[in-house]
Each structure stands twice: as structure tokens, then as C-alpha cells.
């Protein structure tokens, strides 16, 4: 490609609303343009990258035994009614009507459609297992689109769905997909982690996310510093080795006045926040005979809402109690709540249970207890008189850096990650709801087990930039660079020698099948260097009068800055071997 016949669309300045580096660089490098909130057009340079990512994904899917199909973006709302997700999915599901006022949705994902196809066209166990995929535009009406194509409303996703008679078979395909995903991210050259994840609203039990590690990530990933254990912090189990020490202090009630937060109480009593516990009141589930449940956490720890919701006593989704209701029931406001004589069921986080001689609210305005010890002092509705019993000690808190790793080896580190892939073992959630099954060997009807596997193609492009950039611009990994090499001639429009060598090299590289960009603009060298560094072409060949005298050309590597002089006739081989 010659730059004079191409739409480079680079710019020096960047719209002020772009605040992550990948978004800024994608705009400056002329890769994308915003059309409206969360909607982006892909310009030639961006599309080239997108297509390369997509090609790698296609190849690895086919290699893993998945078969390509294509499903409509517009789907009948009926289907979503059947699976129960029309309500469940909420306003993120964009609903539209056709000219006959029939209801449709824009597909954010395709479980309903694929299940319909398979239930109609797969009737025998002999046709299983089956794994189908597509690469396609999805639409999710995000509350707040941000970070450019990282969280846009319209985006391209590879989604695959597998169908099985047994969980064992599903588990095998799940493993194959896990391997295929690793292959994809390895080939692209990303620094990523496969992490244990929550399956969220999509349903199912087993689930892994693939995260590209980057500061701008929206998820927190916890991983062991000495094994390959990694989990979304939403899921990471908080391990506490400590056990409560024997009491050394007497229980005392103290007036703490206006101090109502962990921070102010700790300061007033000159203690560390970890020597106190806090009490959160949440709505109870219908499983138990109570309106609320009290959750006890160590003062310096945070509640993990996902863990809390999974407890049978706690309503899901999690609802925090209103202060007025708590006052009526307990007799004091949020600031002085505590586990002792709490008139409702209590759940204690493992770390809080390991505290001794601690501080907590006294369930009385302005009053706290000090020197509290569980075995000696604790009592609450639903608990044994003898203090803490194991049924109410549970994992409720968010893990923090330095916690012991749940895998038993090392301690946890926490880093930010960008979710670029997610695989699920769905089980029969959709196949059951939509009656998708086959006849088995024994002639019996059986509902299928499903898996689903997604990769955010557009998001990978942004994630790759987050991980590979410097002050001059993007540094593409070779596998997804828009061009492999750029020819930068110095003063080609004045020098016949430079012109001749540049034109010939361009033709030779084309003939060798290399993805080459030829900057044939009548621009000053500085402009060309700056543009090519910005769009991140990994390899440059610079042609100038001064090196032609030695029959040589200069090679420059974008990422390493390495410069080498090459004999003219060795350039094509040098590049093709890169």
C-alpha cells in the first residue's frame, strides 16, 4: 500500500474526552472515529488490525474443532421471552419494533438463537458433540460507554456454543476451548491470565475469564505469586490462617460520642482498624425467618457482594438495609452496630472471627464495646449460647494483596485486567428452557448440556495497545500490526536514486507477499517518522542518499529501537525472516 493512495488519517491533537491511552492512540493513529456514544467507525488502519485479530481467532477455532456459522443480529423478542432473559437482561437489551409493530431485540449474545437452531436440526446423539461459532457484531446498550472501543455499545465478538449429552463431554470441549483461547492470546502476543470467574447472569457453574493485564483494566484480578492460581477478586476465596487468641482484656462499654465510622472510632480509641469489626445489615432471603441479616467484617476489610449474595440466608441481589428500619429493630443507627445481642441472625467473616480483644458497636447510640472476645461475649438470635459456631463463620470479604493464596501456595497479588475472553459451562439453563434435546442410544429424550465461549475481538485491539505503547505511539506485536514493514524514503521527490531503490524494494516486498506500506508522500522525514511510529509499524526500512553510497539501507525496529545497516539485496530476505 502506498500512503498517497491510502487513508492514513493521523492527527497531532486528540479530542479531550479520550482518557485512556489506547483510545487516544486509536484516534490519533486514524484507526477509529466516533459516530455517536459507544458507536465507532473503523478506518483502514484500524480495520487491518481488527481483521488480523479476527483471522487468528478463526484459525484457532477451526483448529479446535468449532464450525463457523452466522446468525442474525436482529432477533425476535419471543425467543428472549422463552428463555426468561427479556426481563432478566434489563435495559441493556435494545428493543425495537418492525413496521408491523412486532417486537425484536438487537442481539447482545446468541444463546437463544443457537439453541433454537440446534433443537430443530439436531435430533440424534450421533450428531453430538457439536461446537458452532460465529464472529459477529453485537449490541449492548451500555449505561455508560467509555474508553473508546474498550466498552462500546456496538462491538465485534467471537461467540461459540457447544452441545453435549454429558457433563463429561462438555468438560472436555471446555478444556479444548481453554487451550484454543490460550493459543489465540499467545499468538497475538498479549500478557494475559486465565482466571476463575463468576458466571454472572448468563448462568452456569464453571467459568474462566481471560484478562489482559493493564492498569486501565476495569476488573481486579487476584493471583498467587508462586503458582498459576488466578481469580477475579469477586470470586477469590479469602483465607485466614489465624485463630482467635484467648482474651486478655475485660469487656468494657465506652462512650464514643459522635464517632460513627471505623476511621473515627479507631482514631478515638488509638487502635488499628484491624482491631475493630464492622456490622452491615442486609435483607434476608426467604430461606430464613428474619427480615435482615447482620454481616460482621474486620474494620479494615470490604464486603464482597458476590460472595454475600450466594449465602442462602442473604437475599440476591444484595440489598442494604435502610437506617430507619435498623433503628426501629436494633435501637441505634449504622454507626454503633455490633454483634453482641444483635436481634437478628449474624454471619461472621472468617477474619473477623479470628479477632480477639476487639472493638465493636454496642447497639446503643454513642456506645462501643472494647476488649470483645467471641467465645466469652458473643450472643445473637440464631446462634448457640456458647459463642461462635462454625455455621455462621463464612467467607464474606474482598481479598486484599498479601492474603494467603487459596491454592495453598504463596500469597495473593492484585492487578487490573481487561476482560478479553470468557468461557462458561452453561449446563442446561437454555436447553431446558427452550426444549433442546435429542434421542439417546436407548431411544430416550435427553436435554443437552451447553457451553458458551466468547472473545471480544474489538476489545483485544484496544487491550493490545494498552500493553504496547510509548510516547511516540503504538508498538504493535507483529501478529496484528496493520503493516509489517514501512519503507521511508528520504527526499524521494528530489533524488532519482532514492526513488528508484524505494520503488524497487516496494515491488520486491509485495512480490514476496509482505504486508508493506510505502510512504511515498512528499513530506519531510520528520513527518513520516512520526506518523509511522504513531501507527506502530513494527519494522521500518529507511532509504537515504547517504547510505546508498555504501549500497546499504537502514533497518529500524519500532519496539526495541534497534538500528542495523543492511546491504540492499538482503533486505527482502531480512524482512521475510522476521
Partner RNA sequence: CGGUGAGUGGCGCAGCUUGGUAGCGCACUUGGUUUGGGUCCAAGGGGUCGUAGGUUCGAAUCCUAUCUCACCGACCA
E strands present in 70-129: 74-76, 95-97, 103-106
Return the residue of 525, 559, 566, 574 that touches RNA, per CB under 7 A.
525
- Rounded to 5°, the CA angle 133-107-197 comes to 65
- Rounded to 5°, the CA angle 543-547-6 comes to 5
**What is the phi/psi pair of residue 64, to 5°?**
-85, 5
Question: Which residue number, 27 or 360, has a Cβ lying nearer to RNA?
Answer: 27
Residue 520: closest CA among 547, 496, 491: 491
Question: Which residue number, 2 or 493, has a Cβ lying nearer to RNA?
Answer: 493
Q: Classify each residue of 502-516 as buried b or exposed e, where b means 16 or more C-beta atoms within 10 Å of its C-beta.
A: beebbebbeeeebbb
Return the residue of 310, 327, 391, 524 that touches RNA, per CB under 7 A.
524
542 touches RNA by CB under 7 A = yes
92 touches RNA by CB under 7 A = yes
Q: Please answer whether residues 488 and 532 qualify as being in contact, where contact means their C-beta atoms are separated by less than 8 angstroms.
A: yes
Question: Which residue number, 40 or 374, has a Cβ lying nearer to RNA?
Answer: 40
Return the residue of 422, 429, 484, 539 that touches RNA, per CB under 7 A.
422
Q: Please answer whether residues 492 and 545 qualify as being in contact, where contact means their C-beta atoms are separated by less than 8 angstroms.
A: no
Question: Which residue number, 186 or 545, has a Cβ lying nearer to RNA?
Answer: 545
84 touches RNA by CB under 7 A = no
Helix (H) / strand (E) element for 210: namely strand 207-213
- For residue 5, give every residue at least 6 positions away whose Cβ sits within 8 Å of its Cβ, in sequence order, or none: none
Q: CB of 77: closest distance to RNA in angstroms?
A: 18
Per CB under 7 A, which of residues 36..65 are in contact with RNA? 36-38
* Cα atoms in the 13 Å half-sphere on the side-chain side of 79: 21
500 touches RNA by CB under 7 A = no
Per CB under 7 A, which of residues 195..224 are in contact with RNA? 200-202, 218-219
* 405 vs 399: CA distance, rounded Å: 10
* 347 vs 365: CA distance, rounded Å: 22
Helix (H, G, I), strand (E, B) or coil at 341: coil
Contact letters for RNA, residues 313-352 (x by CB under 7 A): ----x-----------------------------------
Stretch in the footprint of RNA (CB under 7 A) among 31-39, 58-66, 111-119, 566-574: 31-39
CA 236, 242, 248, 250 torsion: positive or negative? positive
529 touches RNA by CB under 7 A = yes
100 touches RNA by CB under 7 A = no
491 touches RNA by CB under 7 A = yes
13 touches RNA by CB under 7 A = yes
Q: CB of 441: closest distance to RNA in angstroms?
A: 35
Return the residue of 63, 310, 327, 494 that touches RNA, per CB under 7 A.
494
Q: What is the dihedral of CA 200, 202, 206, 212, to 10 degrees?
A: -70
Whether the bond into 317 is cis, omega within 30 of 0: yes
Stretch in the footprint of RNA (CB under 7 A) among 41-49, 271-279, 458-466, 541-549: 541-549
Q: CB of 254: closest distance to RNA in angstroms?
A: 32
Return the residue of 6, 94, 103, 146 that touches RNA, per CB under 7 A.
146
Size of the site for RNA (CB under 7 A): 53
Stretch in the footprint of RNA (CB under 7 A) among 244-252, 262-270, 491-499, 568-576: 491-499
496 touches RNA by CB under 7 A = no
CA 348, 351, 352, 353 torsion: positive or negative? positive
Question: Which residue number, 504 or 524, has a Cβ lying nearer to RNA?
Answer: 524
* 80 vs 76: CA distance, rounded Å: 7
448 touches RNA by CB under 7 A = no
Residues interacting with RNA, by CB under 7 A? 10-17, 19, 36-38, 90, 92, 140, 142-147, 200-202, 218-219, 234, 305, 317, 419, 422, 472, 490-491, 493-494, 524-527, 529-531, 533-534, 542-547, 554, 556
Amino acid at each position: 500500500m502506498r500512503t498517497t493512495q491510502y487513508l492514513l488519517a493521523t492527527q497531532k491533537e486528540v479530542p479531550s474526552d479520550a482518557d485512556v491511552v489506547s483510545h487516544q492512540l486509536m484516534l490519533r493513529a486514524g484507526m477509529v472515529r466516533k459516530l455517536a456514544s459507544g458507536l465507532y467507525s473503523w478506518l483502514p488502519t484500524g480495520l487491518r488490525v481488527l481483521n488480523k485479530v479476527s483471522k487468528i481467532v478463526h484459525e484457532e477455532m477451526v483448529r479446535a474443532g468449532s464450525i463457523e456459522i452466522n446468525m442474525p443480529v436482529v432477533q425476535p423478542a419471543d425467543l428472549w421471552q422463552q428463555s426468561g432473559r427479556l426481563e432478566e437482561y434489563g435495559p441493556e437489551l435494545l428493543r425495537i419494533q418492525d413496521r408491523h409493530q412486532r417486537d425484536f431485540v438487537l442481539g447482545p449474545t446468541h444463546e437463544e438463537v443457537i439453541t433454537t437452531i440446534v433443537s430443530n436440526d439436531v435430533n440424534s446423539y450421533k450428531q453430538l458433540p457439536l461446537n458452532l461459532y460465529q464472529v459477529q457484531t453485537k449490541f449492548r446498550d451500555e449505561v455508560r460507554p467509555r474508553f473508546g472501543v474498550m466498552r462500546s455499545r456496538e462491538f465485534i465478538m467471537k461467540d461459540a456454543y457447544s452441545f453435549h449429552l454429558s457433563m463429561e463431554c462438555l468438560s472436555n470441549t471446555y478444556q479444548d476451548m481453554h487451550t484454543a483461547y490460550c493459543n489465540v492470546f499467545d499468538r497475538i502476543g498479549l500478557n494475559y491470565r486465565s482466571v476463575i470467574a463468576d458466571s454472572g447472569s448468563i448462568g452456569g457453574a464453571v467459568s474462566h475469564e481471560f484478562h489482559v493485564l493493564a492498569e486501565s483494566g476495569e476488573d481486579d484480578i487476584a493471583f498467587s505469586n508462586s503458582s498459576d492460581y488466578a481469580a477475579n477478586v469477586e470470586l477469590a476465596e479469602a483465607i485466614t490462617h489465624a485463630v482467635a487468641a484467648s482474651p486478655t482484656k475485660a469487656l468494657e462499654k465506652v462512650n464514643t460520642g459522635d464517632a460513627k465510622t471505623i476511621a473515627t472510632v479507631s482514631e478515638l480509641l488509638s487502635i488499628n482498624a484491624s482491631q475493630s469489626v464492622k456490622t452491615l445489615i442486609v435483607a434476608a432471603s426467604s430461606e430464613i425467618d428474619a427480615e435482615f441479616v447482620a454481616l460482621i467484617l474486620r474494620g479494615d476489610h470490604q464486603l464482597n457482594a458476590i460472595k454475600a449474595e450466594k449465602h442462602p440466608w442473604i437475599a440476591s441481589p444484595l440489598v442494604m438495609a435502610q437506617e430507619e428500619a435498623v433503628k426501629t429493630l436494633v435501637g441505634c443507627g449504622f454507626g454503633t452496630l455490633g454483634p453482641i445481642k444483635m436481634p437478628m441472625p449474624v454471619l461472621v467473616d472468617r477474619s473477623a472471627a479470628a479477632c480477639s480483644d476487639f472493638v465493636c458497636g454496642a447497639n446503643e447510640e454513642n456506645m462501643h464495646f472494647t476488649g470483645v472476645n467471641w467465645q466469652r461475649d458473643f450472643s445473637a438470635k440464631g446462634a448457640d449460647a456458647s459463642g461462635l459456631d462454625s455455621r455462621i463463620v463464612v467467607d464474606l470479604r474482598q481479598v486484599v494483596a498479601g492474603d494467603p493464596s487459596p491454592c495453598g501456595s504463596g500469597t495473593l497479588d492484585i492487578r487490573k485486567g481487561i476482560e478479553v475472553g470468557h468461557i462458561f459451562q452453561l449446563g442446561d439453563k437454555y436447553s431446558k428452557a427452550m426444549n433442546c434435546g435429542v434421542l439417546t442410544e436407548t431411544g430416550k429424550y435427553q436435554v443437552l448440556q451447553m457451553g458458551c465461549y466468547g472473545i471480544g475481538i474489538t476489545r483485544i485491539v484496544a487491550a493490545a495497545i494498552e500493553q504496547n505503547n510509548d510516547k511516540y505511539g503504538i508498538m504493535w506485536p507483529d501478529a496484528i500490526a496493520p503493516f509489517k514493514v514501512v519503507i521511508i524514503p528520504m527526499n524521494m521527490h528530489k533524488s532519482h536514486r532514492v526513488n528508484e531503490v524505494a520503488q524497487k524494494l516496494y515491488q520486491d516486498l509485495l512480490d514476496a507477499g509482505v504486508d508493506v506500506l510505502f510512504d511515498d508522500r512528499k513530506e519531510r522525514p520528520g513527518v513520516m517518522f512520526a506518523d509511522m511510529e504513531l501507527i506502530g509499524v513494527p519494522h521500518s526500512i529507511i532509504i537515504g542518499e547517504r547510505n546508498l553510497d555504501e549500497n546499504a539501507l537502514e533497518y529500524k525496529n519500532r519496539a526495541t529501537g534497534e538500528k542495523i545497516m543492511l546491504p540492499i539485496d538482503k533486505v527482502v530476505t531480512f524482512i521475510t525472516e522476521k
